[in-house]
Amino acid sequence: MEWPEWLPARLVGVVFVFAGGIHLLLPGTLLATGRVAYDLALRVRFEPRDGAHRRVRVVGAAMVAAGLHLLYHGGLIPE
């Protein structure tokens, strides 16, 4: 069975939209998770600076936009 060539791009689009939504809805949870992960894995202190929540949301908005583009066009370059 051969997959259509647009399918992998659309799957990545779904993942981007989901991950971007998480960034938009739960920036504090993501920053707290990063704090714990840095402490456990790297043994360094992670202290988000002022505006970190806003920057996480901006990244989320960019991810959602990229994901929607991939879902709509089925690839990076529209045909």
For the stretch 31-57, what's the b/e string if a residue is b when 16 or more beta carbons lie within 10 angstroms of its beta carbon?
Answer: beeeeeeeeeeeeeeeebeeeeeeebb
What's the helix, strand, coil split of the chain in %, to 5?
A: 70, 0, 30
Residue-range definition of the domain harbouring residue 38: 7-73
Question: Domain for residue 1, yes or no?
Answer: no
Check residue 6 and give its pLDDT.
73
Read off the pTM.
0.86
Question: CB atoms < 10 A from the CB of 64, how many?
Answer: 19
Question: Domain for residue 42, yes or no?
Answer: yes
Question: Domain for residue 63, yes or no?
Answer: yes
The pLDDT tens digits for 4-36 are: 777 898 999 999 999 999 999 999 999 999 999
Structural domain count of the chain: 1
Taking 70 as the threshold, does the pLDDT of residue 3 lie above it?
A: no
The pLDDT tens digits for 42-63 are: 999 999 999 999 999 999 999 9
Backbone angles phi, psi at 11, to 5 degrees: -65, -45
Taking 80 as the threshold, does the pLDDT of residue 2 lie above it?
A: no
Question: Domain for residue 44, yes or no?
Answer: yes
